[in-house]
Amino acid sequence: MHQRGRWPLILTFLAPGLILYTVFVLSSFAQGVQISFTNWTGFTPTLEYVGLDNYLRLFRDGAWWRAVSHNAVLLIVIPVLTLGLAMLFAALITRGGAGNLRAMPGAELYRVLFFFPQVVPVVIIGIMFSYLYASRGGLLQGVLQMLGTDLLTLVPNGPLGNPDTILLAIALASVWSSVGFYMVLFLSAMGGVPTELYEAAALDGAGRMRSFFHVTLPLIWTHAQTALIYLGIGTLDSYALIAVMAMTGTAGDFGADVMSTYLYRTAFSFSSQFGYAAAMGTVMMLASVALALVTFRLTRREEMQY
């Protein structure tokens, strides 16, 4: 095909997507950044610019830094637990790698079972875990009582009423909901690893542990990297679960208040400070980009060809 003739074709295919993306994604981002330089209340058609005031205020806002610290905790706890468990389950189902020794009996069933929570909407998961943690008639309480102890003795005020435990209790709900998805992701990656490599490793005397760490893991590393970034950005948000389980961050003496919930309350409960909230949104956006770049940099390894 002629070089010149290609462009109209490419543009025809690209244009609809680009236009939609620009209208519904880029323009909202741009507008959010624009609003962050104003004291807009969200009700008027006009804007009044206040320069960097919102950002300076944010820098001095104790409640904001408290929220940031909670996000930081989640950023460590959720990916470590989620990806660790997902990798473990994937490895167990395939016995350390797709190739050797093939799948265990019942692997298909586990695949479906573990993936199941992914199909349940986040809000339902939040409500479900709130009941699970309830001190009257909750599942956790029931199990503990069978063991002869009481939830409220172990955790005063309950997991969601105690500032020290509320964040972890919510993180566990998040881990439960997404482990299955990442397990399936890792399973499919493991399926792509050639069987010969495992046979060679086995001939060299490598057991299941060794072949997992020295064959499987390096070969599916790019998948793990993608999962880490995807999960990290989702964790930076964490809005839905905390909105449902922690009264948009206010429950448990703000023990689970994160950037997104604080942003929401700033815009919709605290005297309509949309400009200030937009500044928080902008910082969150920059944080997401920074997180992705840092993760890529920290996890960079030599690319394997197979």
Partner 1 sequence: MSAPLGSRTPASSRRSFLGLAGVLGIGGLSACATSGAPAGAGAGSSDGGAGNAPTSPENPFGLGDGELTAFVFDGGGGGGVPHLDLTEELFLEKHPGITTDIVRTEDLGTLQPQFVNGTPPDLFQNSGSGALDVTTLTANDQLATLEELLAAPSWDDPEITVEESLNPGVREAGMIDGQLIGLNTVQYAWGIWRDAALFEEQGWQAPSTWDELMALSVQIKAAGMYPWAFTGMHANYFHEGVLQPLVAKFGGQEVWKNVDNLEDGAWHQDAIREAAEALLQLRTDDLILPGVAQMTHIQAQTAWLDHEAAFIPVGAWLENEMKSAIPEGFRMTAGALPSPDPALADLVPNNPGAGWYVPAAAANRPAAFEFLRALLSREASRNYAELNNSVTMVRGAHDDQELSEAFGTITAMIDRSNAVEPWQVVKFSSWYPSLAEEAHAALMALVLGDLDVDGYLARCQAKADEVKADDALRKQTR
136 binds partner 1 (CB under 8 A): yes
DSSP summary character for residue 120: S
Contact present, 32 and 274 (Cβ < 8 Å):
no
Least distance from partner 1 to the Cβ atom of residue 258, Å: 15
225 binds partner 1 (CB under 8 A): no
159 binds partner 1 (CB under 8 A): yes
Rounded-to-5 percentages of helix, strand, coil across the chain: 70, 0, 30
40 binds partner 1 (CB under 8 A): yes
69 binds partner 1 (CB under 8 A): no
149 binds partner 1 (CB under 8 A): no
Among 71, 82, 94, 162, contact with partner 1 (rule: CB under 8 A): 162
Among 103, 134, 202, 233, contact with partner 1 (rule: CB under 8 A): 134
70 binds partner 1 (CB under 8 A): no
161 binds partner 1 (CB under 8 A): yes
Distances (CA, A) of 126 to 116, 238, 241, 252: 15, 11, 5, 16
Among 79, 99, 232, 252, contact with partner 1 (rule: CB under 8 A): 252
Q: Is the dihedral of CA 161, 163, 165, 170 positive or negative?
A: positive
**53 token code pair:** 């005031």
Q: Any idea which residue has 């197979």 for tokens?
A: 306
Which region, judged by CB under 8 A, interacts with partner 1, from 7-15, 23-31, 65-73, 99-107? 23-31
Cross-strand partners of 49: 38
- Residue count of the chain, please give it: 306
16 binds partner 1 (CB under 8 A): no
Q: Residue 148 and residue 66: Cα distance in Å, rounded?
A: 37
* Interface ranges with partner 1 (CB under 8 A): 22-23, 26-28, 30-31, 33-35, 39-49, 57, 130, 133-136, 151-152, 157-163, 247, 250-254, 265, 268-273, 276
